[in-house]
Amino acid sequence: MKTAKEHLLMQFHEHEKIAAKSWLNIFQAINSQTAKRTKALKLSCKAAFSVENVDKNRYRDISPYDQNRITLGSDENYINASPIRVDETRQKYILCQGPLDDTCADLWQMIWEQNVPTIVMLNKLIERGLLKCSPYFPSRSIKEMSFKPYKIVCESEEEEGDFTVRILSLHMDEVEEVKTITQIQYTEWPDFGVPKSTANLLHLMRRYWELHGRENSSPAVVHCSAGVGRSGTFVVVDTVIRMIEAGTEVDMEKLIVRLREKRMGLIQTPQQLRFSWQAIVHFFQYDDEGGRGDEPSSSIGVEEGDESVGRKRESSNDGHDEKLAKRRAMIAGIVEKSRKCERSRQSQTSSFISYLSPLSSPIVAVSSIIAVAAISYYYYTR
């Protein structure tokens, strides 16, 4: 009888024989099962779409379910964040979006109230010229940030290849207690895509285990821009590795469907599905061969059909050759820039919308819309 590990390896290699078509079919089957479960469980997002909360969502199509969302304070205020507990591994995660300017304080309130010791950040602040996450944390360049009533101080920052480890101290006004938070920011994972190799993710995973602790029962905050694609891949890989190590049978498709009941859209493309499976396979293959489990693997290209299946927030293909110095300089100035560009973009967009409303000429209207897009791009990239 095959072990859980042998069964998973066999399944992966069977799917690889059929290649892209197989992964596309599996992904579509997962989507179909997800839709059925969502309907059967009557999952809803009323809180996310209420008048007072709708502007707290970075993307209109990524929201926490009413039946499984983090609430803030005694008033149960809203934040776009979903708790996930995996009973088989006794691990807890909170998947959330990258905060907006107006929700950075909410993020730190959640971290304080939920006693979060670790943040796994899987995105850059700016990707392809767009602000994908407001700067909510200090760094070596900006030692301290405040989001009332919270103050965050960067105690240390170390570059470790493709990711940065920061030790942050979290203070709250009129409270003596100081909490220590470890943030791991991985910067080489493109939105809707995958890292260059499984080695990169496995290196990050091992570092996470060291810093967070393999047996830590406190929740880790895991986020990217939307908190579903890259974040979901990370959680699936961590969960399956732990389950197989414990000798627990794993059905990858059923596991993803079950996790999607807690956070919608978890794993967004067939490419991310394949990559998560491949990372798990490589972890155990190298482990059997006496390796470290993080040797380089072949890079994964975008498979035929991927682009038409995932959510369409944006197509992203990050350049992996950005220099570290450039990233540091960008972070140093991004706090003021993000606020300035948001204010300017909103002001310019509102002016053009007012201008457009009485127009009847389609040509003028189209030209004006193009102008709005150009202005938005200018303020985000200059």
Cα 318 to the center of its chain, rounded Å: 15
DSSP string for residues in 335-352: HHHHHHHHHHHHHHHHHH
- Rounded Cα distance between 332 and 225, Å, is 20
pTM of the prediction? Answer: 0.78
Secondary structure class of 82 (helix, strand, coil): strand
Which fold would CATH assign to domain 4-309? Protein-Tyrosine Phosphatase; Chain A (3.90.190)
Active-site residue list:
224
Higher pLDDT, 206 or 288: 206
Q: Compute the Cα dihedral for 328, 145, 80, 236 and give only its sign.
A: positive
Which of 297, 293, 274 is closest to 285 using CA atoms?
A: 293
CA angle at 109 for the pair 140 and 268, rounded to the nearest 5°:
80
Query: For residue 240, what are the CA distances in angstroms to 173, 212, 260, 382?
Result: 40, 17, 15, 42
The residues near 214 (Cβ < 8 Å, ≥ 6 apart) are none
Question: Is a pLDDT exceeding 70 seen at residue 63?
Answer: yes
Q: Compute the Cα dihedral for 117, 252, 196, 100 and give only its sign.
A: negative
pLDDT digits (tens, 9 = 90+) for 185-235: 999 888 778 888 999 999 999 999 999 999 999 999 999 999 999 999 999
DSSP string for residues in 175-194: ---EEEEEEEEE----TTS-
Helices (H), 68-224: 104-113, 198-212
Burial class of residue 137 (count of CB atoms within 10 Å of its CB; 0-12, 13-18, 19+): buried
| Per-residue model confidence (pLDDT) at position 133 | 97
| Per-residue model confidence (pLDDT) at position 1 | 67
- Rounded Cα distance between 181 and 186, Å, is 16
For the ranges 178-182, 234-238, 316-320, the lowest mean pLDDT is seen at 316-320
Query: Half-sphere exposure (CA, 13 Å, Cβ side) for 160?
Result: 19
pLDDT band at 277 (very low <50, low <70, confident <90, very high): very high
pLDDT band at 22 (very low <50, low <70, confident <90, very high): confident
Query: Half-sphere exposure (CA, 13 Å, Cβ side) for 77?
Result: 12
CA angle at 219 for the pair 40 and 68, rounded to the nearest 5°:
20
Which of 255, 271, 259 is closest to 308 using CA atoms?
A: 271
Higher pLDDT, 314 or 7: 7
Residue extents of the structural domains in the chain: 4-309, 333-381
Q: CB–CB of 190/299 below 8 Å?
A: no
For the ranges 14-23, 46-55, 101-110, 202-211, the lowest mean pLDDT is seen at 14-23
